[in-house]
Amino acid sequence: MSPKRAIVILNHGSGRQDGEQAEATIRNAFARHGVTAKFIYIDKRNVPADAAREALSSGDGLIAVAGGDGTISGVSSAMVGQDRPLGIIPQGTFNYFARSMGIPEDLEKAVDLIATGQSRPIHVATINGETFLNNASIGAYPAILKTREGIYRRWGRSRIAAYWSVIKALMGFRTTLKLTIAVDGKQRTLHTSLVFAVNNAFQLDQMGLDGQDCIARGDMVLLVAPDTYRFGLLRHAVALAIGTAKPHTDYEMLCGSEIEIHMKQRKRYVARDGEVAVMAGPYRLARATSPIQIFVPDAAKESVR
């Protein structure tokens, strides 16, 4: 018997569609399958992980999250190791996690998949025990995301606004980090303005980067930007954004299952799937001990995401 109830964790602030309109679309899409949707809202008082725990404790029914990669990542942190699968309703700007598994960006089609589909285990990564689905970074990228939010508030969410935030943030970024990085026990010291860990082969492909084989083996990719002046960093970032970046010129790529990053500063801003928070070092990145169960199309049941 198919479930008659869905618990949908909704971030009204995600995406380009009005939150109330998105809620109505999702509610009606579930209703076509004979499923009644109950909503748990994410706001300043109810963060994604807390909303997920509330959904898990509220009885039987499908659990789904409607939001961008950051919202989905926060919800997923509470779903790791749970038997109940999670449905994804993409509502963000890039939706890398959903797109990597062929989940439709159309709200109604995403609901159709959840109501009729099957799940598969997805392995996620952690930085200091905090889950991330696609990427985690230190240095320039958290600064870009903080700039992006201001641009979004003024001009709305769009990929053009996101790319403009890269240029604006890097024009004023002047921090060089001295890092000691150990990858699977092999240690080296580097100077850089940006380290960017990736756990999603699809995102690497979208950026025109190698490393999909590393992800397929269950490892992570760590991209390290060259130590350069401000306009050089901007040039490297643009090359990454438009998919023309070259290894050893625009970035150095490291691959491993366990990565540890030490630096002199005790705390720094860390970005995880588009969300920024202060985190204390050293920074340890590894695969989560348990997967999460995600509703996916049949074609994505065995693919490398």
Query: In terms of domains, do 118 and 207 share one?
Result: no
Output the six-digit token pair for 106: 């159309």
Query: In terms of domains, do 58 and 156 share one?
Result: no
pLDDT for position 237: 59
Query: In terms of domains, do 109 and 201 share one?
Result: no
How do residues 143-201 score in pLDDT, each as one tens digit? 777 676 666 666 666 667 666 666 665 555 666 788 999 999 999 998 888 889 999 99
209 in a structural domain? yes
Residue 3 DSSP code: -
pLDDT of 122 > 50? The answer is: yes
244 in a structural domain? yes
284 in a structural domain? no
Average pLDDT of the chain is 84
Query: In terms of domains, do 89 and 178 share one?
Result: no
288 contacts 125 by C-beta, under 8 angstroms: yes
Query: In terms of domains, do 148 and 247 share one?
Result: yes
305 in a structural domain? no
- What does the pLDDT average to over 53-60? 91
pLDDT for position 151: 64
Query: In terms of domains, do 101 and 41 share one?
Result: yes
Q: What is Dmax (Cα atoms) for the chain?
A: 61
283 in a structural domain? no
Query: In terms of domains, do 85 and 177 share one?
Result: no
- CATH code for position 90: 3.40.50.10330
pLDDT of 213 > 70? The answer is: yes
279 in a structural domain? no
- Give me the count of residues in the chain: 305
Task: Tell the residue number behind the tokens 């696609």, with chain if given.
Answer: 134
Query: In terms of domains, do 244 and 221 share one?
Result: yes
pLDDT of 30 > 90? The answer is: yes
Query: In terms of domains, do 250 and 179 share one?
Result: yes
Greatest mean pLDDT range, 26-30, 147-151, 213-217, 273-277: 26-30
pLDDT of 67 > 90? The answer is: yes
73 contacts 272 by C-beta, under 8 angstroms: yes
The domain total for the chain is 2
Output the six-digit token pair for 138: 């230190």
Q: Which of 36-45, 73-82, 122-131, 154-163 has the lowest mean pLDDT?
A: 154-163
Q: Which of 23-32, 99-108, 250-259, 283-292 has the lowest mean pLDDT?
A: 250-259
pLDDT for position 1: 42
CA atoms of 20 and 18, how far apart (whole Å) = 6
Query: In terms of domains, do 227 and 142 share one?
Result: yes
- CATH code for position 243: 2.60.200.40
Domain that holds residue 242: 135-272
The model carries a pTM of 0.84
Query: In terms of domains, do 96 and 160 share one?
Result: no
Query: Prior bond to 282 cis, omega within 30?
Result: yes
Query: In terms of domains, do 295 and 245 share one?
Result: no
99 in a structural domain? yes
What confidence category does residue 18 fall into, taking pLDDT thresholds of 50, 70 and 90? low
278 in a structural domain? no
Beta strands in the chain (DSSP E): 5-10, 36-41, 62-67, 86-90, 118-122, 125-127, 130-132, 135-139, 177-183, 186-192, 194-198, 220-224, 252-256, 258-263, 267-272, 275-280, 283-287, 292-296
